[in-house]
Structure 1
Amino acid sequence: MELRCYRPFVALLCQVLALILWSPLAAAAPNHIAAELVAGPAAAPGGQTTIAIRMDPEKGWHGYWVNPGDAGLGMQLDWTLPEGAKAGEPRYPVPQTLLVQGLMNHVYESEYAILVPFTVPAGAAPGSRLPVQVRAQWLACTDQICVPERAELATEVSVSTGRAAEQDAKVSRQFDNWTRRLPAPLDRAAAMVLTDANLRLAIPLPAAVPLGAPHVFIREDKVVDYAASQVFARQGDVLLVTIPRAHFAARDADALSGVLKLDEAGNGIAFTARSGQVPSGGNPIGGAPRLPALPWLLLAALAGGLLLNVMPCVFPILSLKALSLARAGESQAHARIEGLAYTAGVVVACLALGAMLLVLRAGGEQVGWAFQLQEPLVVVALFLLAAVITANLLGLFEFAVPGFAATGSSRSYTQGAFATGLLAAFVATPCTGPFMASAMGAALLLPMVPALALFAALGLGIALPFLAVAFVPALRMRLPRPGAWMARFRRWMALPMGLTALALAWLVWKVGGQTFVALALLTLAMVLAALGWAGRKQRRAKAARVPALAAALAALVGTALLPRPAPPAAHIESVLDTRSFSEKALAKARRSGNPVFVYMTADWCLTCKVNEEVAIERGETKAAFEKAGVIVLRGDWTRRDPEITRYLTAHGAAGVPLYVWYAPGRGAELLPQVLSSALLAQKAGR
């Protein structure tokens, strides 16, 4: 077990030991951090200058910021000043982070200077020199040991005579250099929201300011989890930061202060935050996980799209292409045109969904991949469409189902293939298979152009099998030749499409409730009645325009009149002792010292449901979890939930499923997207 769970106790132990060892014997040992008190430029009586405490650690040793982090000790100063003189609050340069055995420290590993404002007594004689002394105590550490150190430091401050005189050029340059290393103060206060789960900040920062490696250091102790991942996002000229609370957070506050490190060069800004409104959303930056190179991400997106073709999410729609593929052997040119049209439809749909997702997130909306299926009316529309296609395949009416029509012009085939591609990509979005999760998660963190390239690669992967059949004659020749079997095959293809319609009806019930699904079924009945009327006219060789318009009108009016969906059920039906996920619930669970298992799911996510059936909702999993005292938190993303979206984004995921394990005292461990009960039992048994 890492020491992270016991950070507060380790820090307290270090401080107690330091105080015990601060003795004349300890002081007699040579310091590993050399200290010097340096006076700044001369100041007039009653004026102000600066005194620097220059610290120079030996190689491999480091000193600490005012808030040392999980372990360590900040510098303590005891001044001896002339009467009427004042020493102000020390100002520290931007620190560095140092993670040692799970403990996050705020340190300085090279020469640094602490600058202290010094006020000259009003009665000081011009031209005099004022003696200044300070007893300084600090902790010097390596990665292995810590040694308490102390020094009696002295200097003299010059009182200006008021005449123009050159300052010591070397001293001026030195102080200019030290001053540049201080964090620049913000001219406006930041806003903050402090909850049991995390600290959220809105720091006013122009969008033009580059952020190479951002990190926020909070000055007040025992507020945040120092070693936790910090999530950064930009929303215009505001930087949004989310930092998890400490396991043993001991304070609440209406105001906090801190330093935002901008880059590895040590540039930063000092801010004060007060309670206020902190917006959500924004474009994720900085603290997100490191991404693979773009070529690898493009390859992952391509492979992920290709694998979607064998998943049940997409297969019912692919059945619409089956007859087209059989028919495609009639003409090589026609097969290629239809394959390109289908590919274009898939890629355009993926690009459109991806662009809409990125635009919504840039506007502050907490959405992720498959966001359209979180809208109940979109689910109703898909349900009606799947039911209508099923009725067409069964022969209720004749209509050029996209990519299926047995007769028609070359133009109609091309349009049908394009429409089938659009539909296949739209329905495929709930699925998240191997390779796809990392690529889609990266798309949310990349700039617009490479992100859209990933969405296009995903679409190309979905269309690749049909594109191969269209352009490789050997593959196309293996397909059966057109014949009477096609009519029977058409009827059989109604089976997977009908199962899809039933699954969508169940989903309509889950997202909207009983009244919602009942009215959706009534709307479908009116649509099918109108289409049946159209089919009777078609079999008599009469025009069916009026009943077709009636069916479209019934679908539009029925959908528009649907009531507001019922709120999600609060009760979770589970074999396990499962609780609803929230940031507050996660923070409380982690503070308990028990293992925590978080899983993000959605009713429209087939992969999620399979994992729940074969791995999570199992008797053996329940027994292992009860024995280890595992706390289970379930996040239901069927309907939009900003907290869940933030959590997914923080872990580099664009959508569900997501499975995260928290061992006591450790950080988040991402589990595979394909689970087994043996894997969960193994995690619980550690």
Structure 2
Amino acid sequence: MLRHLIIRLSLLLAVTILSFGGVRPAIAAQDMTSGWTDEDFASVRLISAQTGLNGSDMLRLGLEFELQPDWKIYWRSAGDAGFPPQLDWTGSENLGDAQILWPAPHRFSIFGLETFGYKNHIILPIDVVIPDPRKDVSINLDVDYLVCSDICIPANANFKLDVPASVATGPDTGASTASNQAHQIEKFVSRVPLRGDDLPVSVTSITVDKASDQPVMRLGIKGLDKAGVSVDDILIESDGRAGFGTPSPVKSGSASANDIRYFDLAVFGLNNDQSLDSTDLTVTVIAGPLSVEQSVTVGTVNTADSTSPTATATMAEAEVMTGTSIWLIAVFALLGGLILNVMPCVLPVLSIKVMSVINVREQDIKQVRYGFLASAAGIVTSFWLIAAILVGIKLAGGSIGWGIQFQQPLFLTVMTIILALFALNMWGLFEINGPSELGNVANDAISNQENRGRHLSGHFLTGMFATLLATPCSAPFLGTAIGFALAGSIVDIFLIFTLLGIGLALPYLAIAIQPRVAHLLPKPGRWMNVVKGVLGLALVGTAVWLLGILSVQVGLGGAIAVGLGLVIGGLFVWARSRTQNLRPRFAFTGLALAGFLIALFAPGFAKPPSQTTSNQNAGILEWQAFAPETIGTLVAEGKTVLVDVTAEWCVTCQVNKKLVLETTEVANALRNDNIVLMQADWTRPDQKIADYLASYGRFGIPFNAVFGPGAPDGILLSELLRVDAVLGALQTAGGNTTSDIVRNTQ
């Protein structure tokens, strides 16, 4: 029976998704590490992101700590106790100034003391200047660090590491200057607070009130709503002896209207005659995956942006404000999940949905209800599974986003195999039969369970499969809800993803409430064979589409190998269906299984493209490479910039391109010399793109934004583009320069 195969494949699929790293072809990178120095409470080593200098005058290193449970080391400003790691490079050769890039820390509160640092696993990235890139680097590093749990223990470690001036690289050698440790170091670089101008979140005012017994510092922070994040912590560093408490939100009706929110922090350690006015401070704001660092002066107020509130919110008031926001996002999540049912990405699973309705035509009311309830449960369970995986990746420091499983070759391969098996079953070629007596016993047992309404695994797994295949799509309200969830806590993620699942499952729940609707369908007959044939072709088309995405991940050769394996498996399944003799059927079954195994393991032996396949030269528009750091300069030159983050697996992105961006009206406007088209291809994992999306509180695509003299901070467009919305954004962002161009195209 097909359902038995589905169960086995679902187990394989679960393993695939839980791995989520996919099967990646081996790259000829090297380990660049000093080896571990082990203590009872910690293991430490020095690692390098580069296997050789190859002309670079900078070298990125990492000081990696593996701490035992409940032990911690300290941030650059330890707080009320402790001290950060101290580095001594004496004895090193061809090594200049070294700077530690400090990732955002955690706050530890115990016995009234506030300290800041890291637990479990941490890599401190270190950028080192190389005086002469033509010479080898010899590193001799002595590290003094303090590690604390119930007690504190000072420790020391010494590391030696040599980095050659040059290594052979290129297609012929398959080698790269990036070491096996480069990706791990960059994961922690992404946690380093952002600095500079035009930060997505910024401090607009900072004042201190000493009128009461307990001095209070009040900070105005702008951009939280726009970035879709909420403050987790605010850390204050000063040259004085003052200490600062945890931030508490301040109630203000006008604050959120200006996208400015206020927070109070208690100030400790000030003498009666001591003042913080005009004191220079370093403020680090930690808001989910986003953190920023600014140098500010106490007493400064940006009057153009702030309307300072006077009333401090109680904890109950703060909870009400948060609750209101969560309820609004909850409504968005339900609507987003419901709208997802009519999005283009759901078309590939139409075959499964149609056949599930047709097959229940002859069942009684109770079986119909139980079947659709099981499908709805499968949908919600899939969303829980996705949420759990994203939480795991987030806790591990990885990049998370909606639909990013389509960046993984193993996930794509398994989904393609499952689609092929569904198509073969739809055509009547695939079934599992044993000896007649055993088969009759099994069928009788299953039929007995079905009559009792207990054997619902097929409906449940169909709901799970439909959800997983529908995730490369976005929809109105969906992006807002997911952005809120992924930037929030673990509870937020599971709450929002549960509501998204319920929204997607609402049509199934509606039929479960009124199961007699299924009996309005025509009775099964020969017409079903035609329907099954057409729907089987739709599934094959979806499999081909997934192979196209897979070719971007592992190369055209790997995708062709997967396709050939599926064709071989399908041919032997067809041959098996043409004979009734037990021995040939057994042989054909083994050969078909071999074909599917070839398809499963082929990506592991494929050589991926040297770089991510780009859409920049595809279609009728000419796109530039993604370089967000140049947007400010282009806008200053009077240019209008349209940013498009897309991917081959993003169905909504392709629909936006065909139905909006490449229409005559919009394309003519975009071809103007004053407009710069910048495209980021997220088909394969790219930390730069993931960080860019996170800076706007977005964790999925499509993402489109327009920047220009009239909108230097950017105008974010909806997930589903409209012609008038794109032209309107171009006109607003471009000011007078672009207005005439847009009018001429209309």
Aligning the two structures, in what range does the TM-score lie when normalised by the shorter sequence? Answer: 0.5 to 0.7
Instruction: Determine if the alignment matches structure 1 residue 202 to structure 2 residue 103.
Output: yes
The reply on whether 1:326 has 2:227 as its aligned counterpart is no
Question: Is 1:449–2:494 an aligned residue pair?
Answer: no
Q: Distance in 1 between matches of 2:659 and 2:651?
A: 12
Q: Deviations over 1:171-190 (max 9, x none)?
A: xxxxxxxxxxxx98997689
Normalising by structure 2, we get a TM-score of 0.54
1:397 Cα deviation (Å)?
2.6
How far is the alpha carbon of 1:207 from its aligned partner? 5.4
1:267 corresponds to 2:271? no
Which one of the candidate residues 375, 382, 387 is aligned to 2:408? 375
Q: Which residue is equivalent to 2:726?
A: 680
Q: Does 1:656 align with 2:668?
A: no
Q: Which residue of 2 aligns with 1:641?
A: 686
Query: In the TM superposition, what is the alpha-carbon distance from 1:521 to its structure 2 partner?
Result: 1.9
Among 562, 580, 583, which residue is 2:625 paired with? 580
2:190 — aligned with what? none
* Paired AA for residue 331 in structure 1: D
Mapped partners of 2:424, 2:235: distance in 1: 52
* 1:497 equivalent among 539, 543, 546: 539
- Find the aligned partners of 2:85 and 2:265 in 1 and give their Cα distance: 18
CA distance in structure 2 between the aligned counterparts of 1:281 and 1:374, rounded to whole angstroms: 27
What residue is the counterpart of 2:336 in the other structure? 304
Equivalent pair of 2:407/2:685 in contact (CA under 8 Å)? yes
For these two proteins, the number of residue pairs brought into alignment is 464
Q: Which secondary structure does the structure 2 equivalent of 1:673 belong to?
A: coil
Judging changes above 3 Å, is the alpha-carbon distance between structure 1 residues 210 and 312 closer, same or farther for their aligned structure 2 residues? farther
SS in 1 for 2:345: coil
8 Å Cα contact 2:365-2:516 kept in structure 1: no
Give the AA of the match of 1:295: W
The aligned counterpart of 1:488 is: 530
Aligned pairs for 1:174-573 within 5 A: 202-206=103-107, 229=223, 262=247, 264=262, 266-267=264-265, 283-284=289-290, 293-329=325-361, 330-398=363-431, 409=447, 410=449, 414-537=456-579, 546-547=590-591, 549-569=593-613, 572-573=616-617
Distance 1:615 1:236, change over 3 A: closer
- CA distance in structure 2 between the partners assigned to 1:361 and 1:602 by the alignment: 22
Q: State whether residues 285 and 445 of structure 1, in contact with CA within 8 Å, keep that contact through their aligned partners in structure 2.
A: no
Distance 1:527 1:479 in 2: 35
TM-superposed CA distance for 1:444, in Å, is 0.7
CA contact (8 A) 2:565 2:597 kept: no
Amino acid at match of 2:334: L
The 1:331/1:540 distance shift into structure 2, 3 A limit, reads farther
Cα distance, 1:272–1:639 mapped onto 2, change above 3 Å = farther
Give secondary structure in 2 for the equivalent of 1:461.
helix
Closer/same/farther in 2, CA of residues 446 and 281 from structure 1, 3 Å limit: closer
Secondary structure of the 2:487 match is: coil
Q: Which moved more, 1:668-677 or 1:535-544?
A: 535-544
Contact 1:595 / 1:662 at 8 angstroms: preserved in 2? Answer: yes
Deviation at residue 471 of structure 1 after TM alignment? 2.7
The offset of 1:232, in angstroms, is 11
Q: What secondary structure does 1:483 align onto?
A: coil
Shift of 1:443: 0.9
What letter corresponds to residue 561 of structure 2 in structure 1?
L
Which residue matches 1:64? none
SS in 2 for 1:648: helix
Using the TM superposition, give the Cα deviation of residue 316 of structure 1 relative to its aligned residue in structure 2, in angstroms: 2.9
Contact 1:595–1:664 (CA<8 Å) still a contact in 2?
yes
Q: Determine which structure has more spread, i.e. the larger CA radius of gyration.
A: 1
* TM-score, normalised by the number of residues in structure 1: 0.58
> How far, CA to CA, are the matches of 1:556 and 1:418 in structure 2?
24
Structure 2 CA distance, aligned partners of 1:668 and 1:261?
Answer: 32
One-letter amino acid matched to 1:679: A
Q: Give the residue type in structure 1 aligned to 2:647.
A: A
- Alignment RMSD: 4.5
Q: Is the 8 A contact 1:205 1:238 kept in 2?
A: no
- Inter-partner Cα distance in structure 1 for 2:708 and 2:473: 29
* Matching residue's letter, 1:614: L
What is the aligned partner in structure 2 of residue 151 from structure 1? none
Q: 2:716 aligns with which of 670, 673, 685?
A: 670
Q: Helix, strand or coil for the counterpart of 1:488?
A: helix
Q: Is the 8 A contact 2:379 2:504 kept in 1?
A: yes
Give the CA deviation at 1:204: 4.1
1:190–1:203 CA contact under 8 A, matched in 2:
no
Q: Structure 1 stretch 472-481 or stretch 569-578: which is displaced more? A: 569-578
Give 1:290 shift.
9.2
Shift of 1:603: 0.9
Distance 1:539 1:318 in 2: 36
1:368, 1:437 → 2: CA distance? 10
For structure 2, the residue ranges without an aligned partner over 5 or more in a row are 1-77, 87-99, 117-192, 205-221, 237-243, 249-261, 268-278, 294-320, 434-442, 732-737, 740-746
Deviation at 1:453, TM superposition (A): 1.7
AA aligned opposite 1:385: I
**C-alpha distance in 2, partners of 1:260/1:631?**
46
Deviation at 1:551, TM superposition (A): 4.6
Gaps of 5+ in 1: 1-182, 192-198, 212-217, 241-258, 401-405
CA contact (8 A) 2:615 2:681 kept: no
| Shift in Å, 1:365 | 0.7
Task: Look up the match of 1:623.
Answer: 668
Contact 1:390 1:494 in 2 (8 A): yes
Checking the alignment, whether the CA contact within 8 Å between 1:204 and 1:239 is kept in structure 2 is no
Kindly tell me: are residues 424 and 469 of structure 1, through their superposed partners in 2, closer, same or farther at Cα, counting changes over 3 Å?
Answer: same
SS in structure 2 opposite 1:506?
helix
Structure 1 residue 294, shift from structure 2 partner: 2.2
CA contact (8 A) 1:531 1:551 kept: no
Q: Which residue of the partner structure matches residue 644 of structure 2?
A: 599
Residue type of the partner of 1:670? L
The offset of 1:284, in angstroms, is 4.6
CA distance in 1, matches of 2:292, 2:373: 39
The structure-2 alpha-carbon separation of the partners of 1:221 and 1:589, relative to structure 1 and needing over 3 Å to count, comes to closer
